[in-house]
């Protein structure tokens, strides 16, 4: 079986999406990119995360052609491959339907750096304009609004997080969901204080080398 380790990571982190509350049922999708072989390893479509096995996980090239795997690749293939084609710093992509990030996405809100952990993803988290799911338009919107960032909200849809490894992408997805909840709760009672740009830049520097963000790629 090609890229067994990477396929097993997809199985492992698919279950984590459910247990952490970042999605429900078969919602969302996740992938890894093996730059040495030019192969994207992506979750299969329509299979519950608790039932996915390594042989179901799909291997595709960056044009979406299936190489191996019993399942059908996620319908959001293009939203993953566009990052691997155009960003050398991205080796994992996670798309979630986490409730608070999705709430902000449905409001079409950008999330400023109201909490220091927002700096994990960038100076803020933008909201990409709405596009129908599983389309090139959605992929391009997600990519464009994630420039210089590692997370983006997808209007009326959910969130996308990315990183140099699956560990990093998942960590960012969890923390941005947490900060989205804090932002929503803060806005319910007032206007949260936003950190200054120079402080956010300082935080971004401090996060470099932090264990969950170390660039382990697929291993």
Beta bridge partners of 161: 94, 151
- Listed in sequence order, the residues at least 6 apart from 140 whose beta carbon sits closer than 8 Å to its beta carbon are 82, 131
Query: One of 12, 51, 76, 168 is an active-site residue; which one?
Result: 76
76 counts as catalytic: yes
Give yes or no for a contact between 176 and 121, defined as CB atoms under 8 angstroms apart. yes
Q: Length of the chain, please?
A: 219
- Strand arrangement, sheet containing 58-60: 66-68, 58-60, 39-42, 29-34, 92-96, 158-163, 151-154, 127-128
Q: How far apart are CA 195 and CA 107, in angstroms?
A: 22
Instruction: Give the other-Cβ count within 10 Å of 202's Cβ.
Output: 14
Catalytic residues: 76
């Amino acid at each position: 079986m090609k890229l067994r380790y990477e396929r097993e990571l997809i199985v492992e982190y698919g279950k984590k999406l459910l247990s952490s509350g970042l999605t429900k049922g078969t919602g969302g999708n996740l992938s890894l990119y093996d730059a040495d072989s030019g192969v994207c390893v992506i979750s299969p479509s329509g299979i519950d995360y608790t039932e996915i096995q390594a042989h179901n996980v799909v291997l595709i090239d960056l044009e979406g052609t299936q190489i191996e795997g019993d399942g059908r690749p996620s319908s959001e293939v293009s939203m993953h491959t566009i990052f691997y084609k155009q960003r050398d710093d991205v080796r994992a992509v996670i798309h979630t339907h986490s409730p608070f990030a999705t709430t902000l996405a449905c409001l079409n809100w950008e999330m400023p750096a109201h909490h220091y952990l927002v700096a994990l993803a960038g100076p803020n988290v933008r909201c990409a304009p709405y596009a129908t799911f599983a389309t090139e338009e959605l992929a391009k919107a997600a990519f464009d609004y994630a420039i210089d960032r590692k997370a983006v909200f997808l209007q009326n849809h959910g969130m996308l997080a990315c990183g140099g490894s699956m560990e990093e992408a998942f960590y960012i997805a969890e923390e941005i969901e947490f900060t989205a909840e804090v932002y929503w709760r803060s806005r319910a009672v007032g206007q949260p204080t936003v950190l200054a740009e120079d402080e956010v830049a300082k935080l971004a520097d401090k996060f470099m080398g932090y264990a969950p963000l170390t660039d382990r790629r697929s291993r």
